[in-house]
């Protein structure tokens, strides 16, 4: 049962990342770029981390996991850029 919940969070995070890719793609070739694939791949650990940190398994948490997948890569990239400067 716990594994199924974790997979739901990973799927919702991946769905959020896929929505991000679809929204920002200007044409179909943009979906096949490295940045799009990177966004989709990074959303998988984001969903896993979110499933570990969340206390409840309910509808609002799944929606927030989708939002985390949508914006998560930008957040991770901002952290990497911030630590590169030092």
Q: What is the pLDDT of residue 86?
A: 65
For the chain, what's the residue count?
A: 86
> 29, exposed or middle or buried, with CB in 10 Å at 0-12, 13-18, 19+?
exposed
Q: How far is CA 78 from CA 19, 46, 60, 72, in A?
A: 20, 15, 26, 10
Record the pTM.
0.85
* Domain ranges across the chain: 2-79
- Alpha-carbon span 53 to 82, nearest angstrom: 24
pLDDT for the residue 77: 81
d(CA 7, CA 45): 11
pLDDT digits (tens, 9 = 90+) for 45-76: 999 998 898 878 888 888 999 999 999 888 88
């Amino acid at each position: 049962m716990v594994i199924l919940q974790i997979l739901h969070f990973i799927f919702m995070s991946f769905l959020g990342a896929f929505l991000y890719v679809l929204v920002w793609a200007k044409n179909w070739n943009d979906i096949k770029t490295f940045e799009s694939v990177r966004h989709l791949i990074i959303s998988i650990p984001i969903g896993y981390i979110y499933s570990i940190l969340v206390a409840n398994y309910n509808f609002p948490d799944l929606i927030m996991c989708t939002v985390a997948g949508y914006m998560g890569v930008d957040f991770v990239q901002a952290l990497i850029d911030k630590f590169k400067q030092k």
